[in-house]
Amino acid sequence: MRFVSIIHYPEWNDSRVTDVLRERGHSVEYRCHRTGDLLPDIGDFDGVILGGGDVSVWQADDEPFMEREIAYARAVVDAGIPYLGICLGAQILGAAYGSTSSARPDGAAEFGLYPIEPTESGADLFDGLDHVYQVHWEAVRSL
């Protein structure tokens, strides 16, 4: 299978998710849309990974790439293509369907290793991954 990993800085091309995909024989191509790479055509890939960033989805008015990524995430999901949103990528997916995101009211952050429990349909993709490292100051607040 072919996957595209949309990153927000060219140097952010290191990921356990893409490592595991490659170990399983899948191909992964990186696109850094924020710095000028074009988003791929819908259907060019079997799955889309949209990664984290140092901005928030609620800053979309100040970040021109964000509105395009929000529309892209919706088009990918509406086309039935598997989508994994990590950090900002999850906020973008939420925004694509009308959710809101914001900082925690107490200003605290989630930091460290966090256990994951894949769904039945994601069990093969996440086989062997039982924790992820994360740093989050924000969350999707409504769906």
Contacts of 17 (CB under 8 A, 6+ apart): 5, 49, 84, 86, 129
Q: What's the pLDDT tens digit per position in 6-53? A: 999 888 887 878 888 899 899 999 999 889 999 999 999 999 999 988
Task: Give pTM, 2 decimals.
Answer: 0.83
Q: What's the pLDDT tens digit per position in 73-117? A: 999 999 999 999 988 999 899 999 998 877 777 887 777 788 888
Strands 131-136 and 110-115, bridge-based pairing: antiparallel
CA neighbor of 7 nearest in space, from 52, 61, 54: 52
